[in-house]
Structures are given as C-alpha cells and as structure tokens.
Amino acid sequence: MNRFVSFVLAAMTVAAIAGAASADTLTIGTRTETTSIFPNWWVTTPNQQVASHMFNNLVEMDEKNHVKPGLAESWRPIDDKVWEFKLRKGVKFHDGTPFTADHVIATFDHSKGIEGVGAASGAYVKAKSYQKVDDYTLRISAGKPYPLLPNEMSVLYIYPKPAPVEDFNSGKAAIGTGPYKFVEWLQGDRLVMERNADYWGSKPEWDRVVFKQIKADPSRVAALLNGDVDVIDNVPTTDIAQLKKDPKTAVAQVAGERIIMLQLDSSRDISPFVKGNDGKPLFPNPLRDWRVRKAISKAINRDAVVERVMEGAAVAAGQVATIGMFGFDPDLKPEPYDAEGAKKLLAQAGYPDGFHLTLHGPNDRYVNDAKIIETVAAMLTRVGIKSKVVTMPRATYFSRQKGGGELGAPEFSVTLYGFGTATGETMSQLWMLLHAENPERALGHANMGHYANVGADVVLDKAIVTLDDAEREKLIRQASAIYMRDVALVPLHYQVNTWATRKGLAYRPRLMEVTHAMSVTKVK
C-alpha cells in the first residue's frame, strides 16, 4: 500500500471517529421525570412528553393545541355518533412491524383493561366502541354525538402488542412508531433515546436525546450555564430576566393552558376550615353565598401576584380557558382588584367583621405555589377574612384535597389548584372542574368544591354533544359566563411556560407544558 493511500485511509478513520464522537446529542434538563415508559399511564406532563418521542397517536396536537394528523391521515363523522379514521399507510414500528388498524384496537383493549392508580389514559376509551373496516380504516363511537372524540385520540399512544407495564419500563416493550427509539431509563437519573432513521414523519434532528432529571431549580439553571445540558424546562421565575440578558442563552415563553385557581367548598352547610371570629364552625357555610365568593375574588390583586410573585411569568385570568384556546371568551375579563367592594359584599352577606379561613395548597407542584397562596391569604386578611395557610408536598396534598375528609369528602375548604387540558379544548376543563359530579358520565371528577349550577350544566351538556364547531364554541362561552358570574371558582392566572436553551438553539414554545426534542432547532 503506497503512502498516499495509507494517508487517505488514516484520514477517513480519524474523520469517522470524530464524527462518531461529535454525533448530535440533545440533553434536556427536566424538573420532573416520567412515572412510567408505558405510554398510556397517567395523563401528566412528564409522562406525555416522554411518550410522544417514542410513540404516536392517531391524532396529534400542534404547539397551539390544534389537532393535526398523526397515525390517522384524516377523520370525519359518518353519522351523529360514529367517527371514521383513515390510517396512514407505510408506517412501521421500531421493530419493523407494519402498522395497521389491528394495532390500534389491541392498544385500546389493553389500555382500558389496565387496572390501578396509573390507568388514567384508558378512561378515554372505556366508554367507546371501535370497529375495523379494513387494515387502514377504523370507526370509533362514544354512543352519542361526541365532538371531542378526535381530540381524545391525541391522548392515547399506539404500540404493536400488549405487554406488562414492567416490560415497557425495562424497554423490552417500549416499541412505537415515534421519531426516537428507547435506549435506557435509569429512574431518578436519565432517559436516553436514539434517532429512528425510518420515521414516517419529519426526520428527527438529533442522533440522541437525553432527558436528565434535575429537580432543584438552581441546579437546573446551573447545568444549562455550565453546558451540562442544552435545554431546561420550568425555568424559575427568579432567573428568567437574567437568562434573557445572557448572550449564551435564549428564553422561549408562551402563556400556557394551565389555569391556577382557588376552588371553594360551596356545597357543605358547614365547611371544616371556615370559622367564625369566635373560633367556632360557621353555619351556614359562607362559601355557599356567591357574594362571599365574589368578595374573595375582588380582594385578590392579580396584577400584583403576576408582577411580584410570578415576576411577570403569568397572565391574570378571568376564566378557565387560556388565551387562544378554543372556547376562550375575550369578554370575560379578570376581576379588578377592589378591596372596598369586597368589604361591602361581605357586609351584605352578613359578615361585616369577616370570618376565619384556612387555605390549603401544594408547595412543590405549580410555579411558586406556596408564595401564591401566602400572598392571597394576606390579601384576604386585609378585607376581613382572617386567613392562614397550610401547604404540603403534592403527594400528600392531592389525596387529601380530593377525598381526605369524612366519608371520602374533600378535606379542605379553599384549595389552590392548577388545571390544563389534554384535549386542547376548554370544554373538557369545564366538565371536569365545574359540572356537577356525575361519575357515570365521567363529569365533575376535578370539581373539588362540589360546586353545582344546573343552568350552566344544561348549557354545557348541550355543548358536549354539538358537532358544529361554531355553535359549540358559542355554547362553551355561554356556560363559562354563567359559571364565572356565579364565581364557581376563583381564577388567578395562567402560568407562562418557560424554557431556556444554550446559544445556537431555539425552542418553539407550546401551550402544553410538555418539552419536545422535536421543537428544538439549531440556529446560527
């Protein structure tokens, strides 16, 4: 072999090694990790963001919560109860298995049969029937007119065959059609995925993606500044301004879908944490009076909370639907701060000297959650509602909030709560948060205060079965207006979703809080 050929071969070897060493790896620092690799587990932000990399839905959501084709190329109602989905041809699972309607049916059957605390996703198909027309045509029915059926198909991910949840978590069954393939999951540390070169959609930008769990906010920011990660989610409000100024980082933000609110116990005659000025339980429960609920809303200076507590990373809210979401009503403005008006309403309701109230909330779930509830308590105290605060870790809080009281009743009187939507439409938020509880119809399961308003529910019930988008949005707004006039809950603000990237990268922010490697692009 002559010297020239040897030189060329050596150069090629060095280049190959260098290329392998510099392969594009995107490392994302996340505050919260997934609880399972099984894609149809709890419908939570960390679970959904991981599943969306390895698996696909029939219907997908874009950055603005608008539905778009996924494994289904199109869909249409063929009558008032049945939707027909045309499936995408030529798609293969990571193991080479061709995707067909049989896999959708097998996934649905498996998901709705999973029992236990993590089986929330299966609820989206439990009340539905489905029929294979051919390998690439599927019909799905909820047994009634159901406009959100396609939206709900964006929650369930498709896999080639049923398997125990443990096999998904080990990676053995973590086989999807998504842009990335499973490599390893070291719980409490990292999840690693690699590019799916045969992906049916837009080709993945990154060779490898690593989700690195970094719970502590300061540590996550430090990891970005030190170059240990390329992207971080849930940027703490205290660091946003500085990161915006730093030439080595870029910040991406959008007012998200999550509404932060107070839920009020408006159903019980005596509420456990509402006391008179003599320290005794109040009868009747003042939270049942809309004037008291209105006074609570008026007493809260939302602009101050946004500016001082959230440091600008929030938008004051006057309704459940976030700006830009289907069903948002521009006429439903945030309640103006009016301390004197709040005092007058309390006096009209029979509480000129106020009363005592304990507010409960988590201290590790929402952005600045403990600070928010402490600030609100101080504002209520100024108008005569002498308020104290009890916060606790979310694992304890949510179980007690929902059914920690006697006979499974909610344990608390006023709670801080945050709520988004997996369907991209506020109608599902309304029926979960505000509709009177009806387990058989899966309504009101997040209605922690057991609020009920028959007039608003009738309008919402009509919206639930209205297929025409324009008419449905009109009904949603009408129901929202009734709920908000009655102060069914007290909206505070929408969280602003904030990501930060290192220089040279850009992130397309999403209304949903999920972090996607597919939304990270290189910039010059």
The CATH number for 149's domain is 3.90.76.10
447 and 362 inside one domain: yes
Residue 478 located in a structural domain: yes
- pLDDT digits 0-9 by tens, 219-229: 999 999 999 99
Check whether 16 has a pLDDT greater than 50.
no
The pair of structure tokens assigned to 14 is 């060095």
- Whether residue 438 is contained in a domain is answered as yes
Q: What is the pLDDT of residue 117?
A: 53
Q: Identity (one letter) of the amino acid at 325?
A: M
Task: Report the run of H or E that residue 356 belongs to, with start and end.
Answer: strand 355-362
At 17-43, the pLDDT tens digits run: 333 333 599 999 999 889 899 999 888
Statement to judge: residues 438 and 301 lie in one domain: yes
The pLDDT value given to residue 333:
97
Does the structure show a pLDDT above 70 at 323? yes
Tell me the CATH number at 450. Answer: 3.10.105.10
Question: Does a structural domain hold residue 232?
Answer: no
User: Which of these three, 178, 204, 222, is where a domain ends?
Assistant: 178
The whole-number average pLDDT for the span 316-339 is 94
Give 145-194 pLDDT, tens digit per residue: 999 999 999 999 999 999 999 999 999 999 999 999 999 999 999 999 99
Is 524 part of a structural domain of the chain? no
Hey, what long-range contacts does 143-147 have (CB within 8 A, 24 or more apart)?
A: 143/81, 144/81, 144/465, 145/80, 145/81, 145/465, 145/466, 145/467, 146/81, 146/83, 146/464, 146/465, 147/464, 147/465, 147/466, 147/467, 147/469, 147/472
Residue 505 lies in a domain: no
State both tokens at 445: 């399961």
The first and second tokens of residue 503, run together, are 């220089």
Does the pLDDT value for residue 274 go beyond 90?
yes
The domain boundary residue, chosen from 178, 209, 226: 178
At residue 389, the pLDDT reads 98
Domain coverage including residue 279: 255-496
pLDDT at 118: 59
Q: Which range among 32-46, 377-391, 400-414, 474-488 shows the weakest confidence by mean pLDDT?
A: 400-414
Instruction: Note the Cα 200 to chain centre separation in Å.
Output: 27
Q: Which residues partner with 232 through β-bridges?
A: 29, 500
As a whole number of angstroms, the distance between CA 72 and CA 85 comes to 6
CB 154 within 8 A of CB 144: no
Beta strand residue intervals within 44-179, DSSP E: 59-61, 67-69, 72-77, 82-87, 129-134, 137-141
3-state secondary structure of 270: coil
Task: Kindly tell me if the per-residue pLDDT of 363 is higher than 50.
Answer: yes
How far is residue 226's CA from residue 241's CA, in Å, rounded to a whole number?
Answer: 18
Same domain for 263 and 158: no
Mean pLDDT taken over the chain: 91
d(CA 423, CA 270): 36
Distance separating alpha carbons of residues 379 and 508, to the nearest angstrom: 37
26 domain-assigned: no
Domain match, 311 and 450 both: yes
Please check whether residue 15 lies inside any domain of the structure. Answer: no
Whether 265 and 287 have beta carbons less than 8 Å apart is answered as: yes
Evaluate if residue 491 carries a pLDDT over 60: yes
State whether residue 359 is helix, strand or coil: strand
Going by C-alpha positions, the residue among 302, 314, 305, 313 that lies closest to residue 237 is 313
| Total domain count, the chain | 2
Quick check: 304 pLDDT over 50?
yes
Question: Are 285 and 376 within one domain?
Answer: yes
The residue-averaged pLDDT of 95-111 equals 96
Give the pLDDT of residue 23: 57
- Give domain status of residue 222, yes or no: no
Q: Are 145 and 270 in the same domain?
A: no
Residues 501, 233 contacting (CB under 8 angstroms): no
Percentage of the chain exceeding pLDDT 70: 94
Q: How many helices (H) and strands (E) does the chain have?
A: 16, 20
Quick one: what percent of the chain has pLDDT higher than 90? 78
Residue that terminates a domain, selected from 158, 178, 198:
178
User: Whole-prediction pTM value?
Assistant: 0.84
Determine the 3-state secondary structure of 467 from DSSP.
Answer: coil
Residues 186-245 have pLDDT tens digits of 999 999 999 999 999 999 999 999 999 999 999 999 999 999 999 999 999 999 999 999
